[in-house]
Amino acid sequence: MTMVVTVLAACWGAWLALIPLVATDVIRLDARGYGILLSALGVGGLVGVLAVGPINRWLGRRWAMFADILGTAAMVAAPVVSTDMWVVAAAAFLGGMGGTLWTVNSRTISQRVVPEEMLGRYNAAARLFGWGALPVGAGLVGLLAEWFGVRAAFAVFAVATLALVVPFLRTVTPAALAEVPTGHAHHDR
């Protein structure tokens, strides 16, 4: 899961770094259009917060988390395949929603699996990978965009995200999730 979140965070860093250029130079958005585009990301996150419980019950935790891989892939792939603001905004919505589904579920799992005395260290290490990947993704997408163009840069991140499918499905298995204790997190006892 750490590898997955590292790649996903790098993709988010890439998207956040390059989307202003795409919005102004490629899609040709004005301030209002750019606001709509970024709002779609935030609204997706809010919908994810409201829907995480029902989605977990409907799809299960594994598929709810898998939805983030697909949402992030859509978010970084949309500028590759379309210059339509609504397509890119819809993909940003999916990315925002998936990000929330991942965060809620992965934090719940870690709080239930990691021993209480190790939780601080675990969270620090997890944040190092997650937050540390944001600037790496931003820097890498900038270099790729400079050398190969904006669409090619986003395509690299879309492929990287889709490459997570097999490792995720092999690691976050129903058997592995069945080992996660139910009930309250360690720190709630």
Q: Is residue 69 pLDDT above 60, yes or no?
A: yes
Any domain includes 107? yes
State what percent of residues in the chain have pLDDT above 90.
78
> How big is the CA angle at 76 (ends 102 and 49), to the nearest 5 degrees?
30
Any domain includes 181? no
Any domain includes 183? no
For residue 47, what are the CA distances in angstroms to 40, 41, 54, 99, 141?
10, 10, 11, 11, 28
pLDDT band at 183 (very low <50, low <70, confident <90, very high): low
Please, which residues have CB within 8 angstroms of residue 84's CB and are 6 or more apart in sequence?
27
Sign of the Cα pseudo-torsion (19, 24, 28, 33, in order)? positive
Q: How confident is the model at residue 71, as a pLDDT? A: 96
Give the range of the structural domain holding residue 133, as residue numbers without chain letter: 2-175
pLDDT band at 60 (very low <50, low <70, confident <90, very high): very high
- For 44-59, the pLDDT digits (tens) are 999 999 999 999 999 9
Q: Determine if residue 140 is left, alpha or beta; phi over 0 gives left, psi from -120 to 50 gives alpha, anything else beta.
A: alpha
DSSP 8-state code for residue 186: G
Q: How confident is the model at residue 77, as a pLDDT? A: 98
Any domain includes 59? yes
Q: Is residue 180 pLDDT above 90, yes or no?
A: no
Q: Is residue 151 pLDDT above 70, yes or no?
A: yes
Q: How confident is the model at residue 181, as a pLDDT? A: 83
More confident residue, 181 or 96: 96
Are 92 and 40 contacting, i.e. CB atoms less than 8 angstroms apart? yes
**Residue 118: both structure tokens together:** 């190790």
Sign of the Cα pseudo-torsion (97, 15, 90, 21, in order)? positive
Any domain includes 145? yes
- Average pLDDT over the chain reads 92
- Give the 3-state secondary structure of residue 27: coil
- Residue 28's domain is classified under what CATH number? 1.20.1250.20
Q: Which of 23, 26, 48, 24 is nearest to 37 (CA)?
A: 23
Any domain includes 87? yes
Are 122 and 114 contacting, i.e. CB atoms less than 8 angstroms apart? yes
Are 47 and 39 contacting, i.e. CB atoms less than 8 angstroms apart? no
| Total tally of structural domains belonging to the chain | 1
Q: How confident is the model at residue 144, as a pLDDT? A: 98
The amino acid at residue 161 is T
> How big is the CA angle at 105 (ends 100 and 106), to the nearest 5 degrees?
100
Any domain includes 171? yes
Q: Is residue 178 pLDDT above 90, yes or no?
A: no
